[in-house]
Amino acid sequence: MNTVQWLSLLLFLAAGLMIYVAFLSYQKRHLPVARTMILIMLGAACYAIGYALELLSRNLYEVKLSLQIEYVGIPFITTLWLFQVIQFSGTVSRYRKHLALALFIIPVGVFFLHLTNEWHHLFYEQYILNDQSSFPLYKTAKGPWYTAHTLYNYFMLVCGFFLFIPMYWRSSRIVRKQIIVLTMGAAVPLLFNISLWFGMVVDLTPFGFAVSGIVYAWGILRFNLLRFTPLALTQVFDTIRDGVILLDYKDQIVSYNKAAEGVLPELTLTKHYPAHVEEVLSANPELIHLILDSHNGNERFPFYRSQAGGNKHYQCSVSFIYDASTPIGKMILFNDITELKENETRLRESANQLVELNSFKDKMFTVVAHDIRDPIALLVSLTELLGEEIAADNKLHAELFGVLQGQVQNTFHLVENLLDWYRSQKGNVVFRPLSWNLQQVVRQALLLAESKAGMKQIAMREFIDEKLTVSADKEMLDLILRNLISNAIKFTGIGGRIDIGASLDKDRIVVTIRDNGAGMDEETADMLRRDDTFIKVPNPEESEGHSRFGLMLTREFVAIHGGKLWFESVRGVGTTFYFTLYSSRGGMDVIDQWKGVEEA
């Protein structure tokens, strides 16, 4: 065999090696980087096969046919390599499709220009028979597009190298090895190609791709090249507190950070990675099941671990890692929520304590209702009886006893209001609205307050149409009227006047209680205007505090009816309270019943 035949044989072997690398890449075809590697190796194989046939050619036709085979791959190899670098580094992933279209415009143009070179001779101007030697058979005069394509290839290689430089310094050790493999795969053919500029007769570039094939095969088998790209590995930082484990698309653990060792110490027992997650985490079958069954991504589940330092709780999340729109692996994140769990336990204990305290409060109000209210009510009755006797015997003692009687009555009203408010806050007040004749209800309230008003010679009058009926809860309505009338009597002087009226406004009835007393103090007025919801329990000795408490309770009961309470007050002139209730059209049927009761 002569030299040409030996070179051709080596080129065929090189092409076979590149096809083998393409086969290895095909096994990883799930990854975009692997698919690009397949195209690079097939292009390089076409280059090697075509050049081998060119060396064996016996005439110009065979030379041209061999060049056509070569240029199936030559225009695209370096551009594909740059695109692979872009995929590997995760550069401009959002605009990658548009970038690919821009990068391959010139290679596609070169392919068609070479294919149609006989028409325009822009690529090879002419083929010159080599009279001095049979190797090569023909020399070529290069056209302008040949030079443009050569410069474009060098530019693509330089761009790829510049992308790798900053990436190399940021990457972990295993990723650096992958970067070196990819760089060598491009640098060797480049160096062999440059030899043509120094008078080398034989084009050594295909042999450079043979070396690249060896390097790529070594990288795939030794450093898991194409298994997992730094697009995912750049998300792993040893400084973050959360444990992170990275899996490839075959569910093999590729890498993890320091925090992950604290979560799963068994990670350190495996010396060589990648290793399948079932082998590494065999002591945690439930965790393995949750990881392998995650198909949608962004799944979360709790993970509990009992360790020497104490029990640990983690919120585990499984997220898919994508290159463009293709999933290339998974990231498992372990967020330590032990402190949150402990706080939750403490809050639960505090909640239980609050329940116990609330239960104690309920019992306390029960005591107030049964063991305090009844004795005070008895004291009120006794002071009224004693007051009449003392008034007949001793005027001075009668005045002192009148003060005592007032204090006892204030305390009794306070206890009653407090119990009513407590029942409303607990939801124990049952709201049962029925149809009631408003005139009769008001008259009943005035009758109960008559004795107290008579002591101050206060005239109380009602101006309510007997046909007006309201939809109201009788007990609540009695409390509303009792508080407002009692408040009016308290702040109206001797010989004063209290008028109660009502008017129909669409579907509501506006009730008016007007007095010509001292007017409302500023503190009480401000409290009602602010619509305060918190009620401060007053001192029994403070009549203003008792009044505020009663007014706040009144406003709350009016609101339960769906109504509104407001007022007008002028110091020294008097106060007018207004509140609204829903009118009851069906309430006329109870008028006769009320009249019967009144006559009885």
pLDDT band for position 42 (cuts 50, 70, 90): very high
Name the token pair of 172. 């972990």
Mean pLDDT for the chain? 78
Q: Please tell me whether the overall predicted TM-score, pTM, comes out greater than 0.85 for this model.
A: no
Domain regions of the chain by residue span: 3-229, 232-341, 350-422, 430-582
- Could you read off the pLDDT of 253-282 as tens digits, one per residue? 887 888 888 888 888 888 777 788 888 888
CATH topology of domain 430-582: Heat Shock Protein 90 (3.30.565)
> Looking at the predicted structure, is the pLDDT value of residue 230 above 60?
no
Strands (E), 209-273: 243-248, 252-256
**Three-state DSSP string of 10-34:** HHHHHHHHHHHHHHHHHCCCCCHHH
- Size of the chain in residues: 600
* Average pLDDT rounded to a whole number, residues 65-93: 84
> Looking at the predicted structure, is the pLDDT value of residue 594 above 50?
no
Q: Are 171 and 233 in contact (CB under 8 A)?
A: yes
Give whichever of 319-328, 391-400, 512-521, 537-546 has the largest mean pLDDT. 512-521
- In sequence order, which residues have a C-beta less than 8 Å from that of residue 568 and are 6 or more positions away? 575, 576, 578
* Average pLDDT rounded to a whole number, residues 98-126: 90
| CATH no., domain 232-341 | 3.30.450.20
Rounding to the nearest 10 degrees, give the CA dihedral for residues 26, 30, 36, 39: 30
- Could you read off the pLDDT of 480-505 as tens digits, one per residue? 998 899 889 988 999 999 999 999 98
CATH 3.90.1150.10 fits 3-229, yes or no: no
Rounding to the nearest 10 degrees, give the CA dihedral for residues 68, 69, 72, 75: -60
CA proximity to 415, closest of 462, 449, 364: 364
> Looking at the predicted structure, is the pLDDT value of residue 83 above 70?
yes
- The pLDDT, as a whole number, for residue 588 is 40
- The pLDDT, as a whole number, for residue 227 is 56
- The pLDDT, as a whole number, for residue 535 is 46
Lowest-confidence segment of 116-125, 301-310, 591-600 by average pLDDT? 591-600
> Looking at the predicted structure, is the pLDDT value of residue 593 above 60?
no
- In sequence order, which residues have a C-beta less than 8 Å from that of residue 429 and are 6 or more positions away? 420, 423, 476, 560
Rounding to the nearest 10 degrees, give the CA dihedral for residues 260, 262, 268, 270: -50
> Looking at the predicted structure, is the pLDDT value of residue 542 above 80?
no
- Could you read off the pLDDT of 320-358 as tens digits, one per residue? 877 667 777 888 888 888 888 888 888 888 887 777 666
